[in-house]
Amino acid sequence: MEPISKTQDIKLNIKPVIFGLIHEYVFEGPCRFGRGDELTSDFDEARTAQIAAGWDEALRAELGSLDFVNVMAPYVSKRDETFPLTDDLIADLCADKEEVDLYAVTYYPFGIDFALQLALATKKPVAVMLTGSATGTATVATLRAHGCECLGWVSWDEARDDVRALLARKVMENLRILALVRHNSTTSISAPDSFIDHGAVTDKMGIRFTYLNMHEFLDQTRENDPTANPTLPGRREGNITAEEAREIQEMTDELVQGALEADMPAENVYKSLRAHYLTRKLLAATGCNGFTAPCPDMCATRRLNQEQFTMCLNHSLNNEEGICSACEYDVSALVSMQLLSALSRTAPYMGNTMIIKYDSDSPVSAPKSLAKHEEAFAAFTRAIEGRGGIVCTYHSTPNRKMRGIAGEATDYALRPFAMDGRWGATIRHDFAQDAGQVVTVARFDPTCRKLFVARGTIVSGAGYHDENCSEGVYYAVNDIAAFNQGSITTGNHQALVYGDVFDAAVRYGELAGFEVLTCA
């Protein structure tokens, strides 16, 4: 299979830039003073070298330690006291601009003019550290006044939030979504609150779309003559081969054997993995790195019942491999998942989201499936007793890498989606074991103008023992009214990741030009 260009592999390239001043003559004046050797060019050379080394070292220590950051070789400019700003100097400074995502600038004693020309020539963001710098604020004000993007950091924590946000923006620009369609290419019957206009999404974030007919996809899941598909007669397509079938069987054996519980026939797990394998082939063939497919629209054709798989397992496995994959053709949810995953470096989850306990006096509103398991229901009611502000997000697409894509897989069970025929494999995760885990929740609105970001703490879970789309995570938020306002503005399916990337998500929204609604 061809490799897929995963967004998790994208790096943010930061270029340290240092503007130094090397005087040609020994003299004093209103902007230059010193004693003896302090007025020599040798002293200026040594000081510039010291500043350059310190800035480069700080950037590598504070930002280069992040797994998605690449600190490039520094550029050191040495101008004389006539402050030249020639085309040759600017061209040399901007020589590798195509590789650079962010210029991190420092200077002594002057350099705002050079920083401005750098920003104008490259159209790339420039960042300066404000603490310990009397002219940092002037740099930010000057560049912004000229329409350039300039970030002023007061701490390295703030810097880390900003570089995460810039990474997310770069990831969005490189997101290519493969979308299965049935009736139309904008929304499915169950996600009319998704993006209204995909063209607006492309214009706003750079995300591009490739659309594929659902029936062509379903035909190719079969292990038969690749030129004999009913939807594409005579065309050679990517049907599963005999060799690939053996590989899928090995994947099935590994997945079943690794589960704490697998209460469905292994041959039915194989059928869902076959759909996943084909998805990965098509992603590679089309140059895409994100995926979504309709749910009731496909279900209504009865072809999923005929082939005996759902897309649930495919979404779970895609997400834990760094390829964001969303249920129900909800592109808004998919893009929200991609944002949070880029920020957190964890595999996302998404689902129907509802308030189940508004305040401490509200009655409990829990899925009927939870009541079928007395022990789980008792633990659930204890967790939310006397509390308000409890929200639930539920879908049958959790995964094993929600604590980190690069980390170890968590324990899981395999259960069917179809309750009678016991087909349609789903991964089940016991969210109740993660009580106390901080999560970040987000969703873009249908107009692609607003972004809702929330922070919560897991209190319990449901659906681990069940079939169907009943898996859910329950979490508490601090401002349930703000959460409700964000939800009714942006829509149903909320994306969720483990970890607190709330500040970075809000910062992304600001940098990308969204109106940001929050529930902190």
Q: How far apart are CA 31 and CA 81, in angstroms?
A: 10
Collapsing DSSP to helix, strand or coil, 20 comes out as: strand
pTM of the model: 0.95
Q: How far apart are CA 342 and CA 339, in angstroms?
A: 5
How confident is the model over 509-518, as pLDDT tens digits?
Answer: 999 999 999 9
Strand 413-416: give its sheet, edge to edge: 261-262, 413-416, 425-428
Q: How far apart are CA 222 and CA 205, in angstroms?
A: 36
Among residues 385, 276, 357, 7, which one has the least CA distance to residue 168? 7
Burial of 357 (0-12, 13-18, 19+ CB in 10 A): buried
Q: How many CB atoms lie within 10 A of CB 29?
A: 7
132 band by pLDDT with thresholds 50, 70 and 90: confident
- Residue 344 neighbours by CB under 8 Å, 6+ apart: 440, 497, 498, 499, 501
Among residues 411, 486, 398, 390, which one has the least CA distance to residue 193? 486
Among residues 348, 367, 354, 333, which one has the least CA distance to residue 493? 333
Q: How far apart are CA 290 and CA 198, in angstroms?
A: 14
Domains of the chain: 7-154 (3.40.50), 171-519 (no CATH)
How confident is the model over 192-249, as pLDDT tens digits?
Answer: 999 999 999 999 999 999 999 999 999 999 999 999 999 999 999 999 999 999 999 9
Helix (H), strand (E) at residue 266? helix 266-286
Which residues make beta-bridge pairs with 355? 391
Are the beta carbons of 369 and 394 closer than 8 angstroms? Answer: no
How confident is the model over 294-331, as pLDDT tens digits?
Answer: 999 999 999 999 999 999 999 999 999 999 999 999 99
How confident is the model over 394-432, as pLDDT tens digits?
Answer: 999 999 999 999 999 999 999 999 998 899 999 999 999
